[in-house]
């Protein structure tokens, strides 16, 4: 018998769980739970939440969350924040700090926060082009990391605001570089909507790419996310200098970045669903989902 590791003596009974097997793990067989580069793909029933939480129990970790609500998108903040307070790292010892970037600070709703959880408002200019708002987030997240988060946060998760949490989002999502697969493209062949113009810094050739990731959610450890957002923001600017805007703005640059710098953890579409999709059998739980919205009513331009 091996001596118990000093860090595991007398600990949470959740650390003792059913023996894991490598021949018949009893886990999912209907979906891939690992990428070709050996990153986990997180699906329900591929992890033991109680075990993971017990492993992280005594860690003093701060998770920063960024969310942008500019123009009419402030209407989504209440549901986003209230549902995050019900599902996002709830019950952990982690500190959670939401950074809300908005051009209308007075519209940020007051939400009851649990212990160790707080909301910080950052005032930013509005814009009359939604394309600039979505892509401009990369530069603002970069600046936030450089000026405020370094030395004060361990992980960061960046979310679209027009979405709600419906189920657990916890320690299983932690990793160095974490990205989520787009719910509209997880079952399709490689005809992804990457940027196809060679003149763009987001260019992907027809044979390139792994998955199609959705930029509505990404995260990880600060240095990894900093490199991601600074590279994507810089490439977006280089394109703009040439009069090019990638097909899906930040999301196109994001996809090229993740093809070159593979994520160390991939979140299944459970972690980034869209309410308008019919439910599929492999999606046993929807944890986070974009709401249905009328673009013509909420965007500043078409
Ligand atoms: C997709 C991606 C989004 C981004 C965008 C780039 C989804 C669910 N999201 O979003 O992450 O990559 O494509 O084209 O597919 N926002 C404002 N005010 C505005 C417009 C946008 O605050 O007037 C913010 C807000 O946080 C919103 C986010 O930008 O959630 C993304 O904008 P969107 O949801 O309108 O863009 P969409 O659905 O095409």
User: What's residue 107's pLDDT?
Assistant: 98
Selection from 114, 69, 70 nearest residue 92 by Cα: 114
Contacting residues for 41 by C-beta, under 8 A, at least 6 apart: 31, 32, 33, 34, 35, 181, 266, 267, 268
CB-based contact 162:73 (threshold 8 Å): yes
Give mean pLDDT, residues 95-115. 97
Work out the pLDDT band at 19, boundaries 50, 70, 90: confident
Q: At 137, which helix (H) or strand (E)?
A: helix 130-144
Is residue 195 a part of any domain in this protein? no
Ligand 1 atom nearest to 67, measured from its CA: 26
Is residue 14 a part of any domain in this protein? no
Distance 1 CA to ligand 1 centre (A): 54
Dihedral sign from CA coordinates of 152, 153, 159, 162: negative
User: What's residue 258's pLDDT?
Assistant: 98
CATH code for the domain of 175: 3.90.550.10
Give mean pLDDT, residues 292-298. 92
| CA distances to 155, 182, 276 from 272, in Å | 19, 7, 12
**Of 17-21, 63-67, 131-135, minimum mean pLDDT range:** 17-21
Contacting residues for 244 by C-beta, under 8 A, at least 6 apart: 197, 199, 200
User: What's residue 22's pLDDT?
Assistant: 82
Is residue 55 a part of any domain in this protein? yes
Give mean pLDDT, residues 222-233. 98
φ and ψ of 38, to 5 deg: 65, 30
Residue 4 reports pLDDT greater than 70: no
Is residue 198 a part of any domain in this protein? no
- Catalytic-role residue among 132, 245, 251, 270: 251
Residue 165 reports pLDDT greater than 70: yes
Distance 295 CA to ligand 1 centre (A): 10
User: What's residue 26's pLDDT?
Assistant: 64
Question: How far is residue 126's CA from residue 109's CA, in Å, rounded to a whole number?
Answer: 18
Is residue 253 a part of any domain in this protein? no
Range of the domain at 276: 36-182+210-222+263-292
Residue 191 reports pLDDT greater than 90: no
Q: Count of CB atoms within 10 A of residue 59's CB?
A: 12
Is residue 245 a part of any domain in this protein? no
Domain count, the chain: 1
Residue 299 reports pLDDT greater than 50: yes
Is residue 111 a part of any domain in this protein? yes
User: What's residue 11's pLDDT?
Assistant: 57
Pocket lined around ligand 1, Cβ cut-off 6 Å: 68-71, 73, 130, 133-134, 160-162, 214-216, 248-251, 290, 299-300
User: What's residue 119's pLDDT?
Assistant: 98
Question: What's the whole-number average pLDDT of the chain?
Answer: 93
User: What's residue 2's pLDDT?
Assistant: 39
CB-based contact 138:233 (threshold 8 Å): yes
- For a pLDDT cut of 70, what percent of the chain falls above it? 95
Please write the tens of the pLDDT for every residue from 37-52: 999 999 999 999 999 9
Annotated active-site residue 221? The verdict is no
Distance 213 CA to ligand 1 centre (A): 14
Q: Please name every residue paired with 216 in a beta bridge, in sequence order, or none if there are none.
A: none
């Amino acid at each position: 018998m091996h001596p118990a590791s000093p860090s595991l003596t007398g600990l949470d009974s959740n650390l003792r769980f059913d023996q894991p097997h490598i021949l018949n793990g009893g886990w999912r067989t209907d979906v891939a739970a690992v990428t070709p580069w050996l990153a986990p793909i997180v699906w329900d029933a591929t992890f033991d939440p109680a075990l993971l939480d017990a492993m992280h129990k005594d860690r003093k970790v701060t998770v920063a969350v960024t969310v942008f609500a500019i123009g009419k998108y402030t209407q989504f903040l209440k549901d986003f924040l209230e549902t995050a307070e019900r599902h996002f790292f709830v019950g952990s010892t982690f500190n959670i700090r939401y950074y809300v970037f908005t051009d209308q600070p007075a519209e940020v709703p007051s939400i009851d926060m649990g212990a160790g959880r707080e909301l910080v408002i950052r005032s930013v200019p509005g814009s009359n082009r939604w394309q600039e708002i979505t892509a401009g987030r990369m530069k603002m997240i970069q600046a936030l990391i450089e000026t405020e988060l370094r030395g004060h946060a361990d992980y960061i998760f960046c979310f679209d605001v027009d979405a709600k949490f419906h189920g657990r989002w916890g320690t299983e999502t932690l990793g160095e570089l974490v990205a989520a697969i787009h719910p509209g493209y997880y079952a399709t062949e490689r005809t992804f909507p990457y940027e196809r113009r060679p003149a763009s810094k987001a260019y992907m050739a027809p044979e390139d790419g792994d998955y199609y990731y959705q930029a509505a959610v990404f995260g990880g450890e600060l240095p990894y996310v900093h490199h991601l957002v600074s590279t994507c923001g810089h490439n977006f600017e280089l394109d703009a200098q040439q009069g090019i805007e990638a097909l899906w703005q930040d999301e196109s640059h994001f996809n090229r970045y993740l093809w070159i710098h593979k994520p160390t953890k991939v979140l299944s579409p459970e972690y980034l669903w869209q309410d308008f999709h019919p439910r599929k059998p492999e999606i046993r739980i929807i944890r986070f989902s974009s709401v249905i919205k009328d673009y013509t009513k909420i965007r500043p331009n078409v």
